Amino acid sequence: MRLGVLDVGSNTVHLLVVDAHPGARPLPAHSHKAELKLAQLLDDSGAIGPGGVDKLIAVVRDALRAAEDKGVEDLLPFATSAVREARNADDVLARVRAETGVELTVLTGEEEARLTFLAARRWFGWSAGRLLVLDIGGGSLEIAYGIDEEPDAAVSLPLGAGRLTAARLPGDPPDPDDVRALRRHVRTEIARTVVEFARFGRPDHVVATSKTFKQLARIGGAARSAEGLYVHRELKRTSLEAWVPRLAAMTTAQRARLPGVSEGRAGQILAGALVAEAAMDLFGVEAVEICPWALREGVILRRLDHLAAG
């Protein structure tokens, strides 16, 4: 069957169309995305303003047309931290439902972490042993650990690259004092969670998902996405530590010229790098392997599991 996942994220609204059935690997058939940056459309009260909602509705309509054109049988629409944490989330969801017919499921942060972990587990298999999975989104950082398909621990922290950039790094390039303050904030937040994971012992394999980690790995010399999903890609902490001060000294335009960094995400790659560096350092990780599958694939896999169970 042809499934569509409509992911209303903090950075982008992304429709992923796959051909899938229980017991088989989902095969990507089409990808349609629009950079909306909902996390940066919140007003001073924490609400998504009318203009932001209008843009969201227009983008959802475009995605619905793309899904129809591609013959999607079953659409799985969901929203993450930007909508979840908006003060007027209920009103936003009601308007989207009334004007597009789409009923967005709002995932909790823990659900995001658990579904991303499921995707990573299925990608790497049982031989990977105890997995630690890190995911940096636009609005939040997800961390999950476990040996089965359901993680033993899963947390979500408000440390997304888009959120932190909008709130704490106003300059271009940012003021060094702002960078240091953000570094302290990020490390304090992550350090509070380390003890929750430490009791399970050291992981056998550490993987990272999300566009932020992929771009950081590419900056550090990893293979281009054009070389395919099955090429081994990793991000080393030493590489990241060397790049953070360089990114901090660059303007957004200069970062956008780096290999693998898109113009739309160039402004927030520094915040993402600070979060990635802190997580790897505080968890004692020297390198992470980049996982091609993440939250959207986790949603698809969970749906297929439900279909298989009848």
Cα 187 from Cα 274, distance rounded (Å) = 9
pTM of the full structure = 0.95
Give the model's pLDDT for residue 41: 80
**pLDDT(267) > 80:** yes
Residue 128: is its pLDDT beyond 80?
yes
Mean pLDDT of 265-272: 96
Contact 135, 113 (CB under 8 A): yes
Tokens of 8: 């209303």
| Distance from C-alpha of 167 to C-alpha of 204, rounded to nearest angstrom | 35
* Residue-level pLDDT at 42: 81
Q: Which two tokens stand for residue 11?
A: 């950075």
pLDDT of residue 60: 97
Distance between CA 12 and CA 200 in Å, rounded? 34
The share of the chain scoring above pLDDT 70, in percent, equals 100
**Average pLDDT of the segment spanning 255-262:** 95
Report the half-sphere exposure of 219 (CA within 13 A, side-chain side).
29
What are 117's two structure tokens? Answer: 């972990």
> With contact defined as beta carbons under 8 Å apart, do 32 and 12 qualify?
no
Distance CA 223, CA 228 (A): 9
DSSP, collapsed to helix, strand or coil, labels residue 126 as: helix
**Hey, how many other C-beta atoms are within 10 angstroms of the C-beta on 29?**
16
* pLDDT for residue 310 is more than 80: no
What pLDDT, on the 0 to 100 scale, is given for residue 309?
Answer: 81
Q: Show Cβ contacts of residue 256 under 8 Å, excluding neighbours closer than 6 positions.
A: 262, 263, 266
Q: What is the pLDDT of residue 220?
A: 95
How far apart CA 79 and CA 93 sit, in angstroms, is: 9
- What is the mean pLDDT of the segment spanning 115-144? 97
Say whether pLDDT at 88 is over 90. yes
For the chain, the average pLDDT equals 95
Please report, as a single letter, which amino acid is at residue 104: L
Contact present, 160 and 140 (Cβ < 8 Å): yes
The model's confidence at residue 37, banded by pLDDT at 50, 70 and 90, is: confident
CB atoms within 10 A of CB 268: 26
Q: Which residues contact 33 (CB under 8 A, 6 or more apart)?
A: 12, 13, 14, 15
* 103 φ/ψ sector (left φ>0, alpha ψ -120 to 50, else beta): beta
Residue 21 pLDDT exceeds 90: no
Least confident of 41-50, 187-196, 233-242: 41-50
Q: Please check whether residue 165 is in contact with residue 139, taking contact to mean a CB–CB distance below 8 angstroms.
A: no
Least-confidence region, from 39-43, 83-87, 200-204: 39-43
Read off the tokens for 78: 């969901």
Q: Concatenated DSSP letters for 241-287?
A: HHHHHHHHHS-HHHHTTSTT--GGGGGGHHHHHHHHHHHHHHTT-SE
* pLDDT tens digits, one per residue of 151-189: 999 999 999 999 999 999 999 999 999 999 999 999 999
Confidence of residue 34 (pLDDT cuts 50, 70, 90): very high
pLDDT-derived band of residue 47, with 50, 70 and 90 as boundaries?
Answer: very high
Percent of the chain exceeding pLDDT 90 equals 90
Looking at residue 67, its pLDDT comes to: 97
Domains along the chain? Answer: 2-106 (3.30.420.40), 109-295 (3.30.420.150)
The average pLDDT across 191-200 equals 94
Grouping H, G, I as helix, E, B as strand and the rest as coil, residue 231 is coil
pLDDT at residue number 22: 83
Q: Residue 192 has which token pair? A: 């509070």
Cα(258)–Cα(248) distance, integer angstroms: 13
Phi/psi of residue 53, each to 5°? Answer: -65, -40
- Cβ-count burial 158-168 (b if 16+ within 10 Å, e if not): ebbbbbbbbeb
Q: Are 79 and 263 in contact (CB under 8 A)?
A: no
Residue with token string 């030493």: 238
**Confidence at residue 24, expressed as pLDDT on a 0 to 100 scale:** 83
